[in-house]
Amino acid sequence: MSATRLELDVLTLFPAMFSAISDYGVSGRALDRGLASLQVWNLRDFTTDNYRTVDDRPYGGGPGMVMLAEPVALAVQAARERQKLAGVSAPHVVYLAPHGRRLDHAMVMALLSRQGLVLLAGRYEGVDQRVLDSEVDETVSIGDYVLSGGELPVMVLVDALLRQLPGALGDSQSAAEDSFVDGLLDYPHYTRPEVWRGQPVPAVLTGGDHARIRQWRHRQSLLRTAALRPDLLAARGTSDEELKLLVKEDS
């Protein structure tokens, strides 16, 4: 048996939060169409005491609590076993935390190629390092800031993954034209009315010349990236033709 869809397992203390992903929008549509499977596990179900304890005080002192290793390890094992039954030969375990490698489009596509991901959402001061060392394959961050837990970062990653699946978006070209796909920010978008509060839509977009429209949009992406994210442009580089577009006068 081999996996034919993206298998996703989420390990969390707050499973109800993930209805935001499963019940709405592009991500909900991708799941409804069977393009991916999302299984959410409650880490408290892997505890053994009457209080369903998932955390304890940190060794060495300090503020806050630390998530226990054993419930996390048991949950990872259960998720791996489910994925293997679904045909995933090597489920990839990802921990969402601020110290991880920064998420970008290239990482999304690399993770998408795994076909089976187990996503761990931490809480409190973090997770016992021993279980991270033994069970986690990769740590991912969505930015240089701290949230109350890993659930929102997991949802960000899941949404980014699901919208790349063929058939998830209404227009097959939408994902291919997103920001960051070609290393550039997206170009500006306009819709009706043609003039809004005295501001017209750029004339090139209403002229019907699709070659000019493509060129205009590409130039706008270059200009926006140069102005807002010059680091992206420096990392990506520009062709001679793009350099000409950058210095070209608007027409």
pLDDT tens string 184-228: 999 999 999 999 999 999 999 999 999 999 999 999 999 999 999
Q: Which CATH architecture has domain 6-162?
A: 3-Layer(aba) Sandwich (3.40)
Class assignment of domain 179-247? mainly alpha
pLDDT 10s digits, 101-135? 999 999 999 999 999 999 999 999 999 999 999 99
pLDDT 10s digits, 134-151? 999 999 999 999 999 999
User: Could you state, in order of their start, the residue ranges of all structural domains in the chain?
Assistant: 6-162, 179-247
- The residues assigned a catalytic role are 98, 125, 163, 178
- Please state, in angstroms and rounded to a whole number, the distance separating the CA atoms of residues 33 and 23: 12
pLDDT of residue 182: 85
For residue 1, what pLDDT band results from cuts at 50, 70 and 90? Answer: very low
- Mean pLDDT on 22-37: 97
- Please state, in angstroms and rounded to a whole number, the distance separating the CA atoms of residues 43 and 120: 10
What pTM, to 2 d.p., does this model score?
0.89
pLDDT 10s digits, 3-21? 579 999 999 999 999 999 9
Q: Indicate the average pLDDT of the chain.
A: 93
